[in-house]
Amino acid sequence: MYTIDFSFEQKNIPSITIPNCPVDDSILEIALKNNIHIHHNCGGVNACSTCHIYLESGEDFVEEISDKEENFIDRARNPRINSRLSCQCVLLEGTGRIQVIVPDQSVIHGE
């Protein structure tokens, strides 16, 4: 099981810590199950970039980035070296702590 710390670039959203996150769930799935809104226009199937996050720590606890994911991250707003798509960050076997920053989503339309 993992603990995931979510923080947000939007100043009016407080940080949230989710304990006991199960293996084989994606960070997007965990967020949605815990009423944390992350845009996901394609439904979480690696076909857009709206669920873009910054993976601050815990990259060894999730599946490696694929070429397809990298291509979509290039289209995301303000990508960084630690950018990932939350739908593709599936938790691997193990335990640990993951820190995520959700970029400002107020400029994303749709869903």
How many angstroms separate the CA atoms of 4 and 77, rounded?
23
Q: Is the pLDDT of residue 105 over 90?
A: no
| Predicted confidence (pLDDT) per residue in 78-102, tens digit | 999 999 999 999 999 999 999 999 9
Q: How many CB atoms lie within 10 A of CB 77?
A: 12
Tokens 């947000």 belong to which residue? Answer: 8
What's the pLDDT at 108? 63
pTM: 0.92
110 and 41 in contact (C-beta within 8 Å)? yes
How many angstroms separate the CA atoms of 109 and 111, rounded?
7
Domains of the chain by start residue, with CATH: 2-102 (3.10.20.30)
| Predicted confidence (pLDDT) per residue in 31-68, tens digit | 999 999 999 988 888 989 999 999 999 999 999 999 99
